[in-house]
A and B are shown apart, each in its own frame.
Chain A
Amino acid sequence: MSSYARSSPSALRPSGDAGDFNSDIRLSVEQVSYAYSANPTQAPLFTLEATSFQARPGEIIAIVGPNACGKSTLLKLIAGALEPLSGRVLLNGFVTHVLPHRTRGQRIAMVQQESPLLFPSRAWEFVLQGRHPYGRTLRFETEEDILIARNALAQVGAEHLSDRLMDQISGGEKQRVILARALAQQPLLLLLDEPTLHLDIGAQVDLLETLRRLASANRYTVVVVTHELNLAGQYADQVALFQKGKCLRVGPPATVFQRELLEQVFQTPLTVELGSSGRPRVNMPSAK
């Protein structure tokens, strides 16, 4: 209804001057490993072994594997929230971990399970938080910020939720608003940690379709951690398969979803068939 309704995708394009100097590779994970120990005297509880892969603008990479295999840790390393034990994560040539907080917030957006909100805010307030990395200390949101936030909500199809309180919307709707906030950051890199966890199949497909659309329209690089093998297979350009902290294979879904490999990783009989589009489908064999 308002004049802001012209939701131009270009308004959500990555901002700033960290242009793609090498338009081929945007994200480069180089021999990154990590060890975590609860107690300095104990042996490390968990290890992510040296992992490498790369991603381009507009690509979606899915990270799959059984529980507790290091997927979330890898995501945090990519986001720059953790310092790798070895190796480095490069975003357009910059090491993510040493970026100043503000810059990191302008380049990398994370979508993860939200902690329960103490004082629930309205959806538009929530999305506006995504503009925080662009503001100075004592600032109030500008017209531009509001435009971008509106746009973000429109992009995820959640404009009608704008005035609703965050604790009064459904899981799927909440997920969309959280995604909108990430979009409002105008990032280069979009990281999602198990975004499909509490969603029904329709919402899951919806989300992945949106990610696909946004990634190509706005040239994001998207890294998604997910349990849903078939969604990964259907929408991802690359899949990285992990088991116990070790990256077993990285590549297009068809090369990663090999029956023997999957059965070994997930410890259950599975079958893989290729769909009409060349995308693999993972099935459970019918019960005998």
Chain B
Amino acid sequence: MRPLTLSRLLAHCAILSAILFVVVVIALKLGAVPVSLYGLGHDLLRVLFRQTSQLSSEYQLIIFDIRLPRILLGIFVGASLSVAGASFQALLRNPLADPYVLGVSSGAAVGAIIALIIEPHLALAPAVAALLTPIGAFLGAALTVTAVYFLGLREGQIDSATLLLAGIISASFLQAIIMFFMSTLTGGNYRGIAFWMMGELQTQPPHIVSLVLRFGFFLAAAAIYTTAADLNLLLAGEQEAMHLGVDVRRVRLVVYIAASLLTGLAVSVSGAIGYVGLLVPHVMRLLFGSDHRILLPTAAFGGAIAVVVADTLARTVVSPSELPVGAMTAIAGAPLFLYLMRRRLA
């Protein structure tokens, strides 16, 4: 009998954060413009000691204004998607659930498209205009989440099967709307949306949006983590969980809202990056077990690592061109999914 202990949890998290650190350093090094590790370390120290005037400004720009924000974005998006994916898999009692199964990403895409369409007609300052797409995407996501919630109610309570159905139908419906828009959009808009729907981290959101993403991640992830033990029981069965003292209704609501928030925020800034929310939880289950108290934190780290790795590959394999990061996760994700299926999705 070896139950989960806090020290074991922290040990695993420490290992994963070390891996994440290494991945970040490598990601900072690689790119269209060569950067040496020694120089990188040196410059990071200089920055920490505020001796910034000695750095060449292009170097500064590349490392700190292009690569580092992009890596940070990747970390938070990856962590958000993985935690959301694990949560939805528990909530819907379905190992094939991913963060987008309830239509959040389609809703966000519709919101973003609408924002793109109306933006030229509004006379906005550039700073405000840049906010329009993420806000539009988030509103679209929020509206979809609300609609699916009410569609998924049964006798006043969230019912997993009904919720899943409602989500899938909403996603299909919204996809149809997206296709309609895309066939009528002109030139640059079309290309932009197609790129965005594949998931890309190249577009840096305005600073305030990044802050909201990070804050929202910690808030929502913490909320879900408080229900981690309950989720373990919920997976054993709803009736059984209730008899074991779980307030099923409250747990479902908290997880639904928090996981949708995580997904909505992630999709609003980076588009729909696929496979991360689906596969990272499964891999972490294989490695660390299904106990959500360890699954959720390790999934967060795992998702961050996965997205940073995928994004680094995306911007180096066909350098100086860039692939959308969603393409990279799909290329790696599909074979991995097959492999996991053959191991019977432990």
Q: Which residues of A approach B to under 8 Å, CB–CB? A: 79, 81, 101-106, 108-110, 112, 114-115, 117-119, 121, 124-126, 128-130, 132-133, 135, 137-141, 145-146, 149-150, 162-163, 185
A109 contacts B226, C-beta separation under 8 Å: no
Which residue of B is nearest A106, CB measured? B245
A105 contacts B244, C-beta separation under 8 Å: yes
Contact with A along B229-252 (1 / 0, CB 8 A): 110110111011011111100000
Give chain B nearest CB distance to A175 CB in angstroms. Answer: 14
Give chain B nearest CB distance to A113 CB in angstroms. Answer: 10
Which residue of A is nearest B93, CB measured? A118
Within 8 Å of chain A (Cβ to Cβ): is B143?
no
Give chain B nearest CB distance to A44 CB in angstroms. Answer: 15
Which residue of A is nearest B247, CB measured? A101
Q: A110-B240, A140-B293 are in contact. Are A101 and B229 (CB under 8 A)?
A: no
Within 8 Å of chain A (Cβ to Cβ): is B346?
yes
Complex Cα gap A121–B229 (Å): 14
Candidate in B3, B93, B237 with the most chain A CB atoms within 10 angstroms: B3
Give chain B nearest CB distance to A40 CB in angstroms. Answer: 10
Complex Cα gap A189–B236 (Å): 21
Candidate in A105, A119, A139 with the most chain B CB atoms within 10 angstroms: A119
Which residue of B is nearest A103, CB measured? B245
B245 contacts A102, C-beta separation under 8 Å: yes
B239 contacts A81, C-beta separation under 8 Å: yes
A selection of 13 A-B contacts at a CB cut-off of 8 Å is A79-B243, A101-B246, A102-B245, A117-B235, A118-B93, A121-B290, A124-B1, A125-B291, A137-B226, A138-B226, A139-B229, A145-B3, A150-B1
Candidate in B229, B240, B244, B291 with the most chain A CB atoms within 10 angstroms: B244
Residues of B within 8 A of A114 (CB): 236-237, 240
Size bin of chain B's contact surface: 20 to 34
Which residue of B is nearest A128, CB measured? B3
Which residue of A is nearest B234, CB measured? A118
Residues of A within 8 A of B6 (CB): 140
Residues of A within 8 A of B226 (CB): 137-138
B243 contacts A108, C-beta separation under 8 Å: yes
Residues of B within 8 A of A124 (CB): 1, 3
Within 8 Å of chain A (Cβ to Cβ): is B100?
no
Which residue of A is nearest B295, CB measured? A119
Give chain A nearest CB distance to B23 CB in angstroms. Answer: 27
Q: A132-B244, A133-B245, A140-B293 are in contact. Are A162 and B1 (CB under 8 A)?
A: yes
Q: A101-B246, A119-B346 are in contact. Are A135 and B229 (CB under 8 A)?
A: yes
Q: A114-B236, A149-B1, A162-B1 are in contact. Are A105 and B243 (CB under 8 A)?
A: yes
Within 8 Å of chain A (Cβ to Cβ): is B57?
no
Complex Cα gap A133–B245 (Å): 5
Known: A101-B242, A121-B290. 18 other contacts (CB 8 A): A104-B245, A108-B243, A110-B240, A114-B236, A115-B236, A115-B239, A115-B240, A118-B94, A119-B235, A121-B236, A132-B230, A132-B245, A132-B246, A140-B4, A140-B5, A150-B1, A162-B1, A163-B1
Which residue of B is nearest A105, CB measured? B245
Residues of A within 8 A of B3 (CB): 124-125, 128, 140-141, 145-146
Residues of A within 8 A of B236 (CB): 114-115, 117, 121, 126, 129
Within 8 Å of chain A (Cβ to Cβ): is B88?
no
Give chain B nearest CB distance to A107 CB in angstroms. Answer: 10
Complex Cα gap A128–B226 (Å): 18
Pick the 7 closest A-B CB pairs, nearest first. A105-B245, A133-B245, A115-B237, A119-B290, A110-B243, A124-B1, A101-B247
Which residue of B is nearest A138, CB measured? B226
Residues of B within 8 A of A118 (CB): 93-95, 235
Give chain B nearest CB distance to A114 CB in angstroms. Answer: 6
Residues of A within 8 A of B29 (CB): none
Within 8 Å of chain A (Cβ to Cβ): is B196?
no
Residues of A within 8 A of B246 (CB): 101, 105, 132
Candidate in B9, B226, B243 with the most chain A CB atoms within 10 angstroms: B243
Within 8 Å of chain A (Cβ to Cβ): is B285?
yes
Within 8 Å of chain A (Cβ to Cβ): is B225?
yes
Complex Cα gap A128–B247 (Å): 18
Which residue of A is nearest B222, CB measured? A138
A132 contacts B242, C-beta separation under 8 Å: no
Residues of A within 8 A of B5 (CB): 140
B233 contacts A132, C-beta separation under 8 Å: yes
Residues of A within 8 A of B4 (CB): 140-141
Complex Cα gap A126–B241 (Å): 12
Residues of A within 8 A of B228 (CB): 138
Which residue of B is nearest A130, CB measured? B244
Residues of B within 8 A of A105 (CB): 243-246
B243 contacts A81, C-beta separation under 8 Å: yes
Complex Cα gap A104–B247 (Å): 11
B245 contacts A101, C-beta separation under 8 Å: yes
Give chain B nearest CB distance to A27 CB in angstroms. Answer: 16
Residues of A within 8 A of B9 (CB): 140
Give chain A nearest CB distance to B167 CB in angstroms. Answer: 18
Which residue of B is nearest A142, CB measured? B3
Give chain B nearest CB distance to A110 CB in angstroms. Answer: 4
